[in-house]
């Protein structure tokens, strides 16, 4: 199992390297929580929620962007959503992706599922750390 990084360790590391196809941390990853025909789910290596509830859904095929997914791969997202819904049970959660390589550390397309704890100042800080400039005051 890969060591979970603190957010500080993650941000210090991620600016030094982007993981491409030849060194993708997701391709061949074995610590899988659940898998289907086209997708698998793992726990995030450096969770935004500071616990093991931050999940990522990843297609087995190395795709860079969601537009590269096949129709069948999109259809199987329903199974991913069902698993995630059952995983969080009655806890609120949200999902997010980055559709560009700007400020992304892994080329392999993936979807984040995070428990709904990212509110107020923490959500603002997370977005700022991901490179989204926020000018409005809270």
> pTM score, two decimals?
0.74
Q: Would you say residue 1 has pLDDT above 60? A: no
pLDDT tens readout for residues 63-109: 999 999 999 999 999 999 999 999 999 888 888 888 877 767 899 99
pLDDT at 13: 60
Q: What is the pLDDT of residue 20?
A: 87
How would DSSP label each residue in 92-135?
Answer: -EEEE---SSTT-SBSS--EEEEETT--HHHHHHHHHHTT----
pLDDT at 26: 93
Question: Where do we find the tokens 């949200």?
Answer: 94
pLDDT in tens, 109-136: 999 998 875 556 666 666 666 666 666 6
Task: Determine which helix (DSSP H) or strand (DSSP E) holds 40, and give its type and residue range.
Answer: strand 39-43
If one counts every other C-beta atom within 10 angstroms of the C-beta of residue 30, the result is 7
What pLDDT is stored for residue 62 in this prediction?
96
Give pLDDT, residue 131. Answer: 62
For residue 124, the model assigns a pLDDT of: 67
What are 13-70's pLDDT values in tens digits? 654 577 888 999 999 898 999 999 999 999 988 776 677 888 999 999 999 999 999 9
- Per the CB < 8 A criterion, the answer to whether 56 and 2 are in contact is no
**Do 54 and 64 form a contact (C-beta atoms < 8 A)?**
no
d(CA 137, CA 135): 7
Domains identified in the chain and CATH numbers: 7-129 (3.30.428.10)
The tokens describing 37, both together, are 């025909």
Q: Please give the Cα distance from 93 to 53 (Å, whole number).
A: 10
């Amino acid at each position: 199992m890969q060591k979970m990084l603190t957010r500080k360790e993650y941000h210090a590391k991620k600016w030094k390297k982007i993981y491409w196809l030849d060194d993708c941390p997701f391709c061949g990853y074995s610590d899988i929580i659940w898998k289907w025909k086209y997708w698998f789910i793992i726990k995030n290596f450096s969770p935004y929620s500071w616990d093991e509830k931050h999940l990522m859904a990843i297609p087995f095929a190395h795709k860079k962007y969601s537009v590269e997914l096949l129709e069948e791969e999109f259809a199987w997202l329903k199974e991913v959503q069902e698993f995630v819904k059952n995983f969080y049970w009655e806890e609120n959660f949200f999902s997010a992706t980055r559709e560009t390589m700007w400020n992304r550390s892994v080329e392999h397309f993936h979807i984040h599922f995070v428990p709904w704890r990212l509110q107020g100042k923490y959500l603002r800080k997370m977005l700022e750390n991901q490179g989204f400039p926020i000018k409005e005051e809270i």
